[in-house]
Structure 1
Amino acid sequence: MGIVLNQSLKNTIITYLGFGIGAINTLYLYPFFLGTVFYALTNYILSWANIIMPLLAFGMQNTLVKFYTQYKTEEERSRFLSFTVLIPLLLCIPLVLIGLFFFEPISLYLSKENPVVKDYLWLIPFIGLSMAYFEIFYAWARVHMHSVFGNFVKEVGLRLFSLFALIGVYYEWISVVEFIYVTAIIYFLACIITMLYAFHIKKPVFQFSIPQNVKDVLVYTFFIILSGSVAVMLLDIDKIMLNQYIKIENIAYYSVATYIASVIAVPSRAMHQITYPITAKLMHENKHDELNDLYKKTSINLQVVGGFVMLCIFVNINQLYVMVPKEYSGGILVVFLIGISKYFDLILGNNNAIIFNSKYYRMVLFLGLLLVFLTVGLNMFFIPRFAITGTAVATLLSITLYSLAKLLFVVKRMHLYPFTHQTLYSLAITFGIFLSFYFWEFPFSPIISIGLKSALVTLLYVYINYKFVISIEINQALDLVLKKLKIRL
C-alpha cells in the first residue's frame, strides 16, 4: 500500500485544495457574481458535457488502464497508446455531423421551458470533447503511475481559473455571457496541458496500426462506453431534468447543495486515481487474496475519512447556509439526501475498479441501464411534485440501488468482501457523534461557529477511531505524525 498511500495522500490534499477553491466559487462567487440564471446555465452546460463525455472518449480512458499492462513490448504499448488517442477522434466525426443535422429540433426541445439555454448548446460538444481527451491523457499518465499532476489540473487548475474568471466578471473585465465562453476555453486548456504532460512522461510514436487483441479491446470499450454513460447519467441527469420541468434558477439552488454533499466523495476520487491501475494489475495476475485485502483496506479507509467529512458537513449545514443568499436555503435537505448516497458509495472501496476490470462487466452494465431508466422515471415523478428535493430523493434511491447491486454482484460472483466488524464500529461512531453535535450551535458568527464545532468533532472523531483501531493504515499514519510531534495518546 506504499505507493497507494503516498499518491492517495497527495491526491487527497490536492483534491481538498481544489474543493476549497470550489467552495469559494460555489458558495459565494457564483451566486453573487453570476446570479442564479447564468450560474444555473453554466451548470447545465457542464452537466450535459459530462454526460456526453464517455461517448466522445469512447471509453478509451478505462480501456487504456485495463489493457496497457497486458502488452509486453514497447512496440505493442506504443501501438496501443496510438490507438486509444486516434480512434476517438475518428469516431467523433460522424457524431458531430449527426449533431449538426439535428441541432435545431434538439435545441428547441431542450429550451422549451427555459429559452435562455438555446444559444449556448453548441458549447456542450466542445467542452465534452475537451473533457474526453483530458481523461484519455490523464489515463496515459496514470498507467505510468503518475496520477498527481493530472489530478491537480482537474481539481485545482479548473477551479482556480474559474475563480479568476469570476473575479473578471466582478470587475467587469468580462460579462456574464462571456464567462460561459471563457469556461469552455478553460476546459480546452486543461486538455492541452494534460496532453503535454502525458507526452512528457511517455513520448508518443504515433502509428496507424491496430492492436493484435483489437476484438477484446473493442468489446470491452463498447461496454465501458455504456457503463461510463450510466455512471455519469446517475450523477448529472438530475440537473438536465430540472431544466425540462421547472425554472432554470432551481439548478443553481440544487448545484450549491450537491456541491456541498459531493465533498464527501473526495477521498474516494483521490484514492481511485492510483488504486484503479493497481486493481487492474492484481486482477490480470489473478492475485485474489491480495485483491480482497486491497478491497477491505480501501473500504474501511474511505469510510473513516469520508465519515469524518460527512460529519463536519452535516453538523455545520445550518451555519453554512447562513453564508449564501437566502433563496438557496431550500437545499439543506438536498445536502443530507445526496450526502448519504455519496457515503454509501464511498464505503464500497474500489468496487468499481474491480467490476470494470473483471469478465462480468457486461452484466453490471445491463443493470446500470435499468437503473438509468429508473432514475429518469423517478425524476419525472418527483420533480413536478417536490422540485429540487424531489430530484434529490430520486438520486438517493437510484444511486443506493445501483451501489447495492454492484456490491452484491462482487460478493456473489467474485467472492470478494469489503466489510469487516470495523465497518459496523465506524458506522456507530459516526452516527453517535452526529447526534451529539447536530442539535446545538455556538452563538457566534457562522465562520467561527463552523470552525469551533469542526475542531471539536475532529478531536473526538480522531481520538475514538484511533483508540478502537478502526483502520490500521490510518493509525500507522497518525503514529508517524504523533511521533514527530512527540505526542502520546
Structure 2
Amino acid sequence: MGLVLNQSLKNTIITYIGFGIGAINTIYLYPFFLGATYYALNNYILSAAAIIMPLLAFGMQNTLVKFFSQCKTDKEQDEFLSFAVLFPLVLSIPLLLIYVLFYGDISDYLSKVNPIVKDFLWLIPFIGICMAYFEIFYAWARVQMHSVFGNFIKEVGLRLFSLIALVGVYYDWISPVEFIYVTAVIYFLAFVVTMFYAFYLKKPHFQIAVPNNVKDITVYTFFIILSGGVATLLLDIDKIMLNQYIKIENIAYYSVATYIALVISVPSRAMHQIVYPITAKLMHEEKHDELNDLYKKTSINLQIVGGYVMLCIFVNINQLYEMIPPEYGGGIYVVFMIGLSKYFDLILGNNNAIIFNTKYYRAVLFLGVVLVFLTVGLNMIFIPLYGILGSAFATLLSITLYSVAKLAFVVKRLHLYPFTNQTLYSLGLTFILFMLFYFWDFTFNSIISIVLKSVLVSLAYIYLNYRFVISLQINEVIDGLLKKFKLIK
C-alpha cells in the first residue's frame, strides 16, 4: 500500500485544491460573473461532450491500463501504444461525419426548448475528442506509474484557467459568449500538454501494427465503451434532459448542487488513479487474498474520508446556500440526494477496478445499460413534475441500483467482500455526528459559521475514528504525524 498511499495522498491533495478552485468558480464566479443562462449553457456543452467522450475514446484509456502490463518487450509496448492512440482516431472519423451530415436535425431537436444552445452545438464533438485524447494520454502516463501530473491538469489546471477566464468576463476582457469558446480552447490545451508529458515519460515509436491479442482488446474495449457510457450517462444525462423540458437556467441551479455533492467522490477519484493498475496486476497474477485485502482497505479508508467530507457538507449546507443568489436555493435537497448516492458508491472501494478487470464484466455492463434506460425514463417522468428535484431523485435511484448490482456481482462471482464490522461503526458514527451538528446553527457570518462548525466536526470525527480504530491505515498515518510533531513517542 506504500505506493498507493503515496500517490493517492498527492492525488487527493491536488484534487481537493482543484475542487477548492472549482468551489470558488461554482459558488461565486459563475453565478455572479457569468450569470445563470451562460453558466447553464457552458455546463450543458461540457456534459454533452462528456457523454460522447467514451465513444470517441473507444474505451482505450481503460484498455491501455489493463493490457499494457501484458506487453513483455519494448516492441510489443510500442505496437500497443500506437494502436491505443490511432485506433480511436480512425473510428471517430465516421461518427464525426454523421454528426456533420445531420447537424441541422440534431440542432433543431436539442434547441427546441432553449434556442440559445443551437449556435454552440458544434463545440460538443470538438471538446469531446479533446477529453477523449486527454484520457488516453493520461492512461499512457498512469501505466508508467505517474498519475500525479495528469491529475493536476485534470483537477487543477482546467479549473484554474476557467477561473482566469471568469475574471476576464468580470473585467470585460471577454464576453460571456467568448467565454464558451475559451472553455473549448482550455480543454484543447489540456489534451496537448498531457500528450507531451506522456511522450516525455515514454518516447513514442509509432507504427502501423495490430497487437497479437487484438481480439481480446477489441472485445474488452467494446464493453468498456458501454461501461464508460453508462457511468457518464448516469452522471450527466440529467443536465441534458433538463434542457429538453425546462428553462436552461435550471441547469445552472442543478449544476451548483451537484458540484457540491460531487466533492464527496473526490477521495475515490484520487485513489482510483493508482489503485486501478495495481488491481489489474493482482487479478492478472490471480492473487485473490491480496486483492480481497486491498478491497477492504480501499472501502473503509474511502468511507472514512468520504464520510468526513459528506458530513462537513451536509451540516453546513444551509449556511453555504446563504452565500449564493437566492434563486439557487432549491438545490439544497439536490445536494442531499446526489451526495448520498456518491457516498454509497464511494464505500464500495475499488469495486469498479475489480469489475473492469474480470472476465465476468459483461453481465454487469449490460445491466448498466438497462439502468441508463431506467434513468432516462425516470427523468422523463419526474422532471416535468418536480423540475431539478425530480432529476436528482431519478439519479439517486438509478445510481444506487447500479451500485447494489455491482456489489452483488463481485460478492457472488468473485467471493470478494468490501465490508467489515468497521463499516457499520463508521456509518453509525457519521449519522450521530450529523444529528448533533445539522440542527445546531451559529448566528455569525455564514463563512465564520461554516469554518467554526467544520472545525468542531473535524475534531470530533477524527478523534472518534482514531479512538475506535475504524481504520488501521488511517491510524498509522495519524500516529506518524503525531510522532513527527513529537506529540507521542
- The TM-score range, normalised by the shorter chain, is over 0.9
What SS does the aligned partner of 2:174 have?
Answer: coil
Partner Cα distance (1:23, 1:460) in 2: 25
How far 1:440 moved relative to its partner? 1.3
Letter in 2 for 1:280: A
What SS does the aligned partner of 1:349 have?
Answer: coil
Partner Cα distance (1:421, 1:488) in 2: 28
1:57 paired to 2:94: no
Partner Cα distance (2:91, 2:404) in 1: 34
Q: Match for residue 294 of structure 1? A: 294
Structural mapping, 1:46-445, within 5 Å: 46-445=46-445
What SS does the aligned partner of 1:418 have?
Answer: coil
Note the alpha carbon deviations across 1:146-174, whole angstroms, 9 max, x for none: 00000000000000000000000000000
Partner Cα distance (2:102, 2:294) in 1: 47
Partner Cα distance (2:268, 2:225) in 1: 21
Partner Cα distance (2:2, 2:234) in 1: 33
Q: Match for residue 32 of structure 2? A: 32
Letter in 2 for 1:208: I
How far 1:443 moved relative to its partner? 1.1
Structure 1 unaligned regions, length at least 5? none
Partner Cα distance (1:279, 1:367) in 2: 23
Q: Match for residue 468 of structure 1? A: 468
Partner Cα distance (2:219, 2:433) in 1: 48
Partner Cα distance (2:201, 2:211) in 1: 22
How far 1:361 moved relative to its partner? 1.1
Q: Match for residue 2 of structure 1? A: 2
Letter in 2 for 1:273: Q
What SS does the aligned partner of 1:359 have?
Answer: coil
Letter in 1 for 2:86: L
Q: Match for residue 453 of structure 2? A: 453
What SS does the aligned partner of 1:71 have?
Answer: coil
Partner Cα distance (2:174, 2:41) in 1: 17
Partner Cα distance (2:402, 2:118) in 1: 33
Partner Cα distance (1:203, 1:15) in 2: 28
Letter in 1 for 2:387: A
Partner Cα distance (2:484, 2:204) in 1: 44
Letter in 1 for 2:313: I
How far 1:226 moved relative to its partner? 1.1
How far 1:487 moved relative to its partner? 2.3
Partner Cα distance (2:453, 2:109) in 1: 47
Note the alpha carbon deviations across 1:49-88, whole angstroms, 9 max, x for none: 0000000000000000000001111110110000000111
Note the alpha carbon deviations across 1:113-154, whole angstroms, 9 max, x for none: 000000000000000000000000000000010000000000
What SS does the aligned partner of 2:35 have?
Answer: helix
How far 1:309 moved relative to its partner? 0.2
What SS does the aligned partner of 2:387 have?
Answer: helix
Partner Cα distance (2:486, 2:309) in 1: 26
Letter in 2 for 1:399: I
Letter in 2 for 1:191: F
What SS does the aligned partner of 2:247 have?
Answer: coil
Partner Cα distance (1:386, 1:87) in 2: 43
Q: Match for residue 12 of structure 1? A: 12
Partner Cα distance (1:35, 1:427) in 2: 39
Letter in 2 for 1:355: I
Note the alpha carbon deviations across 1:211-259, whole angstroms, 9 max, x for none: 0000000010011111110110000000000000000000000000000
Partner Cα distance (1:137, 1:16) in 2: 22
In the TM superposition, structure 1's runs of 4+ consecutive aligned residues that sit over 4 Å from their partners are none
Partner Cα distance (1:455, 1:92) in 2: 50
Letter in 1 for 2:256: V
Sequence identity percentage? 77
Partner Cα distance (1:487, 1:253) in 2: 46
What SS does the aligned partner of 1:145 have?
Answer: coil
Partner Cα distance (2:487, 2:411) in 1: 41
Partner Cα distance (2:352, 2:388) in 1: 28
Letter in 1 for 2:379: N
How far 1:488 moved relative to its partner? 4.5
How far 1:353 moved relative to its partner? 0.3
TM-score by length of 2: 1.00
Partner Cα distance (2:484, 2:277) in 1: 32
Letter in 2 for 1:18: G
How far 1:486 moved relative to its partner? 2.2
Note the alpha carbon deviations across 1:423-474, whole angstroms, 9 max, x for none: 0000000000000000011111000000000000000000000011101110
Letter in 1 for 2:273: Q
Partner Cα distance (2:369, 2:89) in 1: 26
Partner Cα distance (1:217, 1:171) in 2: 50
Note the alpha carbon deviations across 1:95-120, whole angstroms, 9 max, x for none: 11111111100100000000000000
Partner Cα distance (1:365, 1:304) in 2: 28
Partner Cα distance (2:226, 2:267) in 1: 25
Q: How many residues align?
A: 489
How far 1:389 moved relative to its partner? 0.4
Partner Cα distance (2:110, 2:258) in 1: 22
Note the alpha carbon deviations across 1:355-395, whole angstroms, 9 max, x for none: 00100111011100000000000000100000000000000
Letter in 1 for 2:222: F
